[in-house]
Amino acid sequence: MPRLSRKSHAPVPAEIGALARVLDQYEGRYRELRGVRTFGDYLRAPARDADEEKLTEPLLASILEEVLGYGKGDYFPQLGKSGLKPDFTPTDLVTHPFVFDAKGTGESLNAHVAQIRRYVDQRQLRSGVLFNGRHVRVYPRGASAPERSVSFDLVPLWEAARGERLPVGEDVDAFVRFVQRFSRRTLSTADKIEQIRNAEPWTERLDGAEVDVEFLVDQLRRLAAELVADVGSHPGELDAYLALDATRVERLLDELRQIALDIESGVDVTSLPTAVADWSAGGAVAERVWRQYLLRVAYLALTRIMLYRAWEDVGFVEKEDSTPCVGDVEDLL
């Protein structure tokens, strides 16, 4: 195809420029695998070896980060050929209800439709994305055909960014819509609560679904860590709670000392801090104890919230119009 003058067409959308920069970053990998320099030449060159692990998986990771805006901590990479998990799963599946999976450039995506549908069904997500370096295909839950409005080929976009074709057409429109739908988003706490409140009941979402226990545990650990980190921004609330009852301070100190003995059986309890405020910076043992205490409280809070939601879904308690706080759950226990 003859190269077009850049003056002869409209500006290339910024999203396409970002995609082309990612594709051009892998020049060294193209040369290593097929002896060529550019993305287009790589796809035209005869295949030598499988390139899923060497090229398409890292390429998809770069697209997630540099085009869709995900940080390293915003997704779980679960790479490999086992087929048990998708390659990339957003950590926040409430805000991002989809997964991404990479295949080699020599593989047909049609051969992996059942696999991506299984990933989507496992977690009752909205859709799954298949990528093989040539094509991006989006499969909504329950569909065996890709959603054409957000599925596209990469070569036309790369050529448009290089000025070798006009930046118009179905692939351009589909790519822009894809970026809008699958980019990382930040929801406020109120938005997240509203989204969870309007979600399908778990009794319906889990009908026929497989529970990924490993993923669930990872999510609970992440949420517990976030709760612990949040404590540091509200130091006055614990003081206010302890001030309401003169016995609370001593009960808390007793619990902290017991945790210290659990962590380090030979510790001299008389050397430990005597004021609650001193535990968070009271030396190696005291700081470990304080961290462990906060994690226990965080896990207890998460357990109570999950239990309350489970009771709502099975009708054991009446469904509330608003999301309950931990105090509401404590009233039930």
* Measured distance CA(256)–CA(293) in Å, rounded: 7
Q: Does residue 35 sit in the same domain as residue 155?
A: yes
- Whether 321 shows a pLDDT value over 60: the answer reads no
Burial 266-304 (b: 16+ CB within 10 A, else e): ebeeeebbeebeebbebeebbeebbeebbeeebbebbeb
Lowest mean pLDDT among 69-78, 83-92, 225-234: 225-234
Highest averaged pLDDT of the listed ranges 19-33, 73-87, 218-232, 303-317: 19-33
Average pLDDT of the chain is 85
Decide if 198 is inside a domain: no
- Whether 221 shows a pLDDT value over 80: the answer reads yes
Q: Does residue 226 sit in the same domain as residue 177?
A: no
Lowest mean pLDDT among 22-31, 69-78, 94-103, 235-244: 235-244
Q: Write down the pLDDT at residue 2.
A: 44
Q: Write down the pLDDT at residue 157.
A: 96
Q: Does residue 27 sit in the same domain as residue 173?
A: yes
Q: How far apart are the first and last CA of the chain?
A: 71
Decide if 197 is inside a domain: no
Q: Which amino acid is at 228?
A: V
Decide if 141 is inside a domain: yes
Q: List strands edge to edge, sheet with 98-102.
A: 75-77, 88-90, 98-102, 127-131, 135-140, 152-153
Percentage of the chain surpassing pLDDT 70? 86
What does DSSP assign to residue 78? -
Identify how many contiguous H helices and E strands the chain contains and give both numbers. Answer: 14, 6
What does DSSP assign to residue 46? P
Q: Does residue 25 sit in the same domain as residue 147?
A: yes
Which structural domain, as residue segments, surrounds residue 48? 6-182
Q: Does residue 132 sit in the same domain as residue 280?
A: no
Q: Does residue 150 sit in the same domain as residue 298?
A: no
Q: Write down the pLDDT at residue 312.
A: 75
Decide if 203 is inside a domain: no
Q: Which of 211, 234, 224, 237 is nearest to 302 (CA)?
A: 224
Q: Does residue 165 sit in the same domain as residue 243?
A: no
Angle CA(152)–CA(176)–CA(187) in degrees, nearest 5?
120
Q: Write down the pLDDT at residue 94.
A: 82
Decide if 247 is inside a domain: yes
Q: Which residues contact 71 (CB under 8 A, 6 or more apart)?
A: 65, 184
Give the pLDDT band of residue 265 (cuts 50, 70, 90).
Answer: confident
Q: Which of 124, 123, 102, 117 is nearest to 147 (CA)?
A: 117
Give the residue from 182, 204, 230 where a domain finishes.
182
Place of tokens 């003058």: 5
The dihedrals phi and psi of 13, each to the nearest 5 degrees, come to -55, 145
- Whether 249 shows a pLDDT value over 70: the answer reads yes
Q: Write down the pLDDT at residue 320.
A: 59
Give the pLDDT band of residue 327 (cuts 50, 70, 90).
Answer: very low
- Under a CB-based contact definition with an 8 Å cutoff, are residues 34 and 46 in contact? yes
> Strand 152-153 and strand 127-131: pairing?
unpaired
Domain count, the chain: 2
Q: Does residue 326 sit in the same domain as residue 283?
A: yes
> Strand 98-102 and strand 152-153: pairing?
unpaired
Decide if 204 is inside a domain: no
Q: Write down the pLDDT at residue 173.
A: 95
Q: Does residue 38 sit in the same domain as residue 162?
A: yes
Decide if 202 is inside a domain: no
Q: Does residue 272 sit in the same domain as residue 154?
A: no
Average pLDDT on 81-91 reads: 81
Q: Does residue 301 sit in the same domain as residue 221?
A: yes
Decide if 82 is inside a domain: yes
Q: Does residue 172 sit in the same domain as residue 25?
A: yes
